[in-house]
Amino acid sequence: MTIADDEVRILNLSTGATYPQELSHPQDPILASLGMFIVDDNEYPASSGRPNEYDILGGGGTYAVLGGRIVSGISKARLITSVFDIGNDFAPSVKEEIETWKTGVAFRKDENRKTTRGVNVYDENDVRHFYYKTDKKRVEAEDVIETDNLIFLKTFHFCCAIDRCESMIDKLTKKVKQLDSSRPRPKFIFEPSPDACISENYEELIRVLPKVDVFTPNLNEAAEFAGVKTLPTTEEEIHQLSLKFTPYMKLPNSGVLIRCGPLGCYVNAPGATKLLPAYHIDQSKVVDVTGGGNSFCGALAAALVLSNGDWLYSAIMGTLISGCIIEKLGVACVEKDEIWNGKTLKDRLQYYLNREQDLAKTYKIL
């Protein structure tokens, strides 16, 4: 597959590499998220003065797909995939919105159930809590195996508990080897579900991390896993927290990325040990943080494929996309010429590099 005109071309000034790079097995999907597709409601405390909101497209899988889609561009949009389970109450308008992304998402309809619906409840400290209004339906490893062209994926994104992550990695790896032992092993991105992030699960986590390529909790989740009582606030403190996980990342070019909200993100991986500032320094431009982390993970995963494993570049892409997603309620809106929430990816990258001059010494837009 050749590089398309719509793609943002980047030069790594340190290595001379340009991104996106040519792909091996170019017809294989770049990314599938095994996170869920959910229709959400948002509930806010009375003190916020903000009205509740309903029927919002959401779910970890949905936002991860969107993040990967924006990074990949329209020419590779069909290579960003997932299985979206929909029920007998699924609104055609919601499907039409998803179809504007032009991805390779497969819709699986079940007339005997309702679409998975959830509620995001924000407390006085703007911390999000979540519960389901209807029965949930998860995407399993077997669903990937049974869906055409999904098994030979370059990257899988998991947003789940530790044991489920390990089970899916084992099943998918085994199936790929059975079908074609010459294929490279897929990469696995693990975004832990919030309820799994407790210190009692730390030993189980570090047992599974050697099977994972990217471990990406948020700052609160990383601290909970490590039993850290006071949340880190400086780059050095976050670095020390990352060291609770990096010794167990055993796969080639594997690493840890801690998503730190307004502080940005901290990457500790081969070729990159750095705190990257958030896209929005001015938090007044942040409308709704729902999906910011999931979209970051999808963007990161796709960028790692398209850059052949450049962690710093991929962390920048995650930063840009999460910044885009949180500018409005719900998913980003796409217009002509790859404009998402009013700006192209190139616009956002140029703004970010102009502001972060140390990064501009490494990356240049062509």
- Residue in the structure block whose two tokens are 């494993």: 309
210, part of any domain: yes
Q: For the residues 168-196, what does the mean pLDDT come to?
A: 94
Helix, strand and coil content of the chain, in percent to the nearest 5, comes to: 40, 20, 40
Which structural domain range is residue 226 located in?
A: 28-365
185, part of any domain: yes
CB count within 10 Å of CB 49 equals: 7
Looking at the predicted structure, is the pLDDT value of residue 32 above 90? Answer: yes
Q: What share of the chain in percent tops pLDDT 90?
A: 83
- Residue in the structure block whose two tokens are 């020419």: 75
Q: What is the pLDDT of residue 101?
A: 97
Angle in degrees, 0-180, between the axes of helices 345-355 and 311-325, rounded to the nearest 10: 110
What is Dmax (Cα atoms) for the chain?
59
Tell me the residue length of the chain. 366
What CATH code is carried by the domain that includes residue 315? 3.40.1190.20
Q: For the residues 139-147, what does the mean pLDDT come to?
A: 89
DSSP 333-352: PEEGGGEETTB-HHHHHHHH
Kindly list the distances between the CA atom of residue 305 and the CA atoms of 36, 71, 131, 323, in Å, as whole numbers in the listed order.
22, 11, 33, 21
Q: Which amino acid makes up residue 175?
A: K
Helix (H, G, I), strand (E, B) or coil at 39: strand
Signed CA dihedral, 263, 268, 270, 272: sign only? positive
**pLDDT (tens digit, 9 = 90+) per residue, 59-70?**
999 999 999 999
20, part of any domain: no
Q: Report the chain's terminal Cα–Cα distance, integer Å.
A: 19
Residue 45 CA to residue 51 CA, distance in Å, equals: 9
Angle in degrees, 0-180, between the axes of helices 311-325 and 60-72, rounded to the nearest 10: 120
Q: What is the pLDDT of residue 42?
A: 87
Counted domains in the chain: 1
4, part of any domain: no
9, part of any domain: no
* pTM: predicted TM-score of the whole model, two decimal places: 0.94
62, part of any domain: yes
12, part of any domain: no
Q: What share of the chain in percent tops pLDDT 70?
A: 98
207, part of any domain: yes
Q: Which two tokens stand for residue 363?
A: 């990356």
**221 has which bridge partners?**
none
